[in-house]
C-alpha cells in the first residue's frame, strides 16, 4: 500500500457546503442536492469529510453510499447539544476500503421528537449501536428489529448520557427489588 493520498487529492473550501472533490463523494453530492458538505483537515490527523443529512433522506443516502463503495460500517453514536437547536445529533461513520476514505454523516434530531429511521437494513452492524444510542440518549430508531436497552438494565429509568441527566443527582438503583417484571 502507498501513503495516504486523499488529503492531497481533494481541494475544496473548508467549511463550505460545496460538494467535496473526491469523485465518490462528488457523485453522492450530485445525487443528493439537499445534503450539506463540510470538511475537517486538522494539521495533524486524517482528512475528514462530513455530510449533513436530514433524517428523511438518511436511509436512501446510506444505501447510495454503500453501493458507491462505502461498504464498511464503522460507528454510530448520539450527541446531546443541550441548549442548541436541534438538540440531538446522530453521528454515523462509514468507510470505503477501496477508496481509503472515511465519511462522517451527521443527522440532526430535534429534542421534542427524537426519532430517526433505523439503518439496520443498510448496515446490519448498526443494530447494537442503535440500541446503545437508544439506551443512553433516548433517541428512538424507527423500524429497529429489537430496540431494547443494551448496556443498562431493562428497568432503568432515564437516559444517562443526556446532559440533563445529572451526575451524582441520581438515587442509586438496585437497592432492592421494588419493581419486578
Partner 1 sequence: MSDTPDYVEGDLVAPTLERPEGPAEPPDGAEGTRRLHELWVAGTEEPRWLAAATDEGAQEILPADVDPEVAYEAGAAVVDDYVAEPEPAPDERQIINLGPQHPSTHGVLRLQLELEGETIRRVKPIIGYLHTGMEKTAETLTYLQGGTNVTRMDYLSPFHNELCFSLVTEQLLGVEVPPRAQAIRVLMTELNRVASHLIWVATQGMDVGALSMMLYGWRERERILAFFEKVTGLRMNHNYIRPGGVAADLPDGWEEDVEELLERLPEGIAEYHELLDENPIFLDRTVGVGVITPAECHAYGITGPIARASGIAWDLRKAFPYSGIDRYDFDVPTGRHGDVYDRYLVRMAEMDESLKIVRQVLETMPAGDYRVDDAKVTPPPRKRIDESMEALIHHFKLFTEGFKVPPGEAYQAVESPRGELGMYLVSHGGSKPWRLHVRTPSFAAVQALPVMLTDSLVADLIATLASTDPVLGDVDR
Count Cβ neighbours within 10 Å for each residue of 114-147 and write b for 16 or more, e otherwise.
bebbbbbebbeebbebbbbbbbbbbbbbeebeeb
Query: What's the closest the beta carbon of residue 146 comes to partner 1, in angstroms?
Result: 9
128: helix, strand or coil: helix
Query: What's the closest the beta carbon of residue 133 comes to partner 1, in angstroms?
Result: 10
Please state whether 168 falls in left (phi above 0), alpha (psi between -120 and 50) or beta. Answer: left
- Under rule CB under 8 A, residue 161 binds partner 1: yes
Of 139, 123, 17, residue with least CA distance to 74:
123
| Binding-residue total with partner 1 (CB under 8 A) | 48
- Under rule CB under 8 A, residue 40 binds partner 1: yes
- Under rule CB under 8 A, residue 36 binds partner 1: no
Report the residue from 21, 36, 86, 93 that binds partner 1 according to the rule CB under 8 A.
93
- Under rule CB under 8 A, residue 27 binds partner 1: no
Report the residue from 8, 30, 33, 153 that binds partner 1 according to the rule CB under 8 A.
153
88 grid coordinates: 440531538
Question: What does the alpha-carbon distance between residue 107 and residue 94 come to, in Å, rounded to a whole number?
Answer: 14
Tell me the window of 25-33, 53-61, 91-99, 107-115 that interacts with partner 1 (CB under 8 A).
91-99
- Under rule CB under 8 A, residue 164 binds partner 1: no
Amino acid at each position: 500500500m502507498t501513503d495516504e493520498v486523499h488529503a492531497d487529492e481533494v481541494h475544496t473550501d473548508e467549511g463550505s457546503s460545496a460538494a467535496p472533490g473526491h469523485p465518490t463523494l462528488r457523485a453522492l453530492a450530485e445525487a443528493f442536492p439537499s445534503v450539506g458538505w463540510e470538511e475537517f483537515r486538522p494539521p495533524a490527523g486524517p482528512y475528514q469529510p462530513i455530510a449533513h443529512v436530514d433524517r428523511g433522506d438518511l436511509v436512501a443516502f446510506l444505501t447510495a453510499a454503500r453501493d458507491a463503495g462505502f461498504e464498511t460500517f464503522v460507528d454510530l453514536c448520539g450527541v446531546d447539544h443541550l441548549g442548541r437547536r436541534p438538540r440531538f445529533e446522530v453521528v454515523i461513520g462509514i468507510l470505503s476500503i477501496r477508496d481509503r476514505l472515511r465519511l462522517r454523516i451527521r443527522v440532526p434530531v430535534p429534542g421534542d421528537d427524537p426519532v430517526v429511521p433505523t439503518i439496520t437494513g443498510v448496515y446490519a452492524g448498526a443494530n447494537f449501536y442503535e440500541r446503545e444510542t437508544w439506551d443512553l440518549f433516548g433517541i428512538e430508531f424507527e423500524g429497529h428489529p429489537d430496540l431494547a436497552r443494551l448496556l443498562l438494565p431493562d428497568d432503568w429509568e432515564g437516559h444517562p448520557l443526556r446532559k440533563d441527566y445529572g451526575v451524582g443527582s441520581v438515587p442509586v438503583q438496585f437497592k432492592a427489588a421494588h419493581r419486578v417484571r
